[in-house]
């Protein structure tokens, strides 16, 4: 397994790999890896010849007062997991090289990024699209793997890839959950044991919505209310949003269309913001 820090070195190697006929798969991450990240590596191992995983805590996707300074880091642990999982190249660029003095170009997706998480975190998706465009130009993947856990991010990045003509295929990995149903997230490490117990209501609330659909209820508002009332049972949970949306556009929908509609939600547990979703 190669570990590369320099942008030039990474870009030269990707060019060489492409010229040699190697199909490159790429997993962009912010590190503190868990089984969800690694399931994306597994997806690409099946479909590509060389898997690159990047670790970069991207400062410009964090708003003022968010958790950039305390975002968890464990590079040694990450390297071990990457090695065990068969990652070929780990790319760990430096912030000062990624955003050189004078960096003044940002990429803004104007539609999908505006609602849901974009409302609470206004510059977040601009940070995500900008860093991903840069990483795509550096790592030059044929295929990129993204997690369904960040459903809105998937739609925003697919839109950017189409709009900016990146010759990249997107594969989307299912949400990887703990045994008790909590979606894996680097941010789960912030939770106290009491908060961790309350966090179980997140998945429980999604399943309450799903259950209604199973009983034939197809009204989005009714589903949302069921989700909200389950979340309210947890003392420490504050709602950011709960919506029923079209999974391909992230637009709110009144009527559920099976396999096309999804519940998306974001909640606060004290200062920890967690997101989750379920395709109905
Ligand atoms: P992050 O390090 O949080 O930026 O995530 C990097 C990639 O891993 C993104 O494409 C996420 O959607 C994906 N990811 C994060 N958590 C999970 C999970 N629990 N299951 C599957 N993929 C995930």
pLDDT in tens, 194-212: 999 999 999 999 999 999 9
| Token representation of residue 260 | 């096309």
Indicate the pairing of strand 24-29 with strand 50-55.
parallel
What domains can be seen in the chain, in order of their start residue?
Answer: 2-173 (3.40.50.620), 186-279 (3.30.1300.10)
Instruction: Ligand 1, residue 174: give the atom nearest the CA.
Output: 21
Pocket of ligand 1 (CB under 6 A): 29-30, 36-37, 39-40, 146-147, 149-150, 173, 175-176, 183-186
**Pairing mode of beta strands 261-269, 237-246:** antiparallel
Confidence of residue 280 (pLDDT cuts 50, 70, 90): very high
Predicted confidence band at 17 (pLDDT cuts at 50, 70, 90)?
A: very high
Atom 17 of ligand 1, residue of closest alpha carbon? 36
Provide the 10 A C-beta neighbour count for residue 48.
21
For atom 18 of ligand 1, the residue with the nearest CA is 36
**Segment 115-165, tens digit of pLDDT:** 999 999 999 999 999 999 999 999 999 999 999 999 999 999 999 999 999
Report how far ligand 1's centroid is from the alpha carbon of 215 (Å). 31
Check residue 164 and give its pLDDT.
98
- CA 175–ligand 1 middle distance (angstroms): 8
> What is the percent of the chain with per-residue pLDDT over 70, rounded to a whole number?
100
Q: Choose among 1, 50, 275, 28: nearest CA to 135.
A: 28
Assign 23 a pLDDT band (cuts: 50, 70, 90).
Answer: very high
Probe ligand 1: pick from 30, 32, 40, max atoms within 8 Å of CB? 40
pLDDT for res 181: 98
pTM of the model: 0.98
Residues in the chain: 280
Active-site position among 5, 34, 37, 103: 37
Using CA positions, which residue lies closest to atom 8 of ligand 1?
37
Say what the pLDDT of residue 240 is.
98
Quick check: 247 and 279 in contact, CB under 8 A? yes
**15 CB neighbour count, 10 Å cutoff:** 11
Read off the pLDDT of each residue in 40-57 and give the average, rounded to a whole number.
98
**Catalytic site includes residue 5:** no
- The full 3-state SS of the chain, as one line of letters, equals CEEECCHHHHHHHHHHHHHCCCCEEEEEECCCCCHHHHHHHHHHHHHCCEEEEEECCCHHHCCCCCCCCCCCCCHHHHHHHHHHHCCCEEECCCHHHHCCCCCCCCCCCCCHHHCCHHHHCCCHHHHHHHHHHHHHHHHCCCEEEEEHHHHHHHHHHHHHHHHCCCCCEEEEECCCECCCCCECCHHHHHCCHHHHHHHHHHHHHHHHHHHHHHCCCCEHHHHHHHHHHHHCCCCCEEEEEEEEEECCCCCECCECCCCCEEEEEEEEECCEEEEEEEEC
Tokens of 4: 């590369």
Provide the pLDDT for residue 36. Answer: 98
pLDDT at 45: 98
**Mean model confidence pLDDT for the chain:** 98
Ligand 1 pocket mutation pick from 37, 91, 144, 154 by most atoms within 8 angstroms of CB: 37
């Amino acid at each position: 397994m190669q570990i590369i820090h320099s942008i030039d070195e990474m870009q030269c190697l990707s060019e060489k790999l492409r010229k040699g006929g190697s199909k490159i798969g790429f997993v962009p991450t912010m590190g503190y890896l868990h089984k969800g990240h690694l399931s994306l590596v597994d997806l690409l191992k099946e479909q590509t010849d060389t898997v690159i995983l990047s670790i970069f805590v991207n400062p410009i996707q964090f708003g003022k007062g968010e958790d950039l300074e305390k975002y968890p880091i464990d590079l040694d642990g990450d390297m071990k997991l990457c090695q065990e999982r068969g990652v070929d190249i780990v790319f760990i660029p430096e912030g000062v090289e990624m955003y050189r003095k004078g960096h003044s170009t940002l990429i803004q997706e104007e539609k999908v990024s505006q609602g849901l998480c974009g409302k609470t975190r206004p510059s977040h998706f601009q940070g995500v699209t900008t860093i991903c465009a840069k990483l795509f130009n550096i790592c030059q993947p044929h295929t990129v793997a993204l997690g369904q856990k960040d459903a809105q991010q998937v739609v925003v990045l697919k839109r950017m890839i189409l709009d900016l003509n990146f010759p990249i295929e997107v594969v989307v990995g299912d949400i990887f959950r703990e045994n008790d149903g909590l979606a894996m997230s680097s941010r789960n490490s912030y939770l106290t044991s009491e908060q961790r117990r309350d966090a179980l209501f997140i998945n429980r609330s999604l399943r309450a919505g799903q259950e209604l659909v199973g009983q034939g209820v197809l009204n989005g508002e009714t589903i949302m209310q069921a989700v909200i009332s389950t979340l309210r049972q947890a003392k420490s949970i504050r709602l950011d949003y709960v919506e029923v949306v079209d999974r391909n556009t992230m637009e709110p929908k009144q009527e559920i269309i099976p396999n096309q509609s999804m519940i998306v939600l974001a909640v606060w547990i004290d200062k920890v913001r967690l997101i989750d979703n379920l395709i109905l």
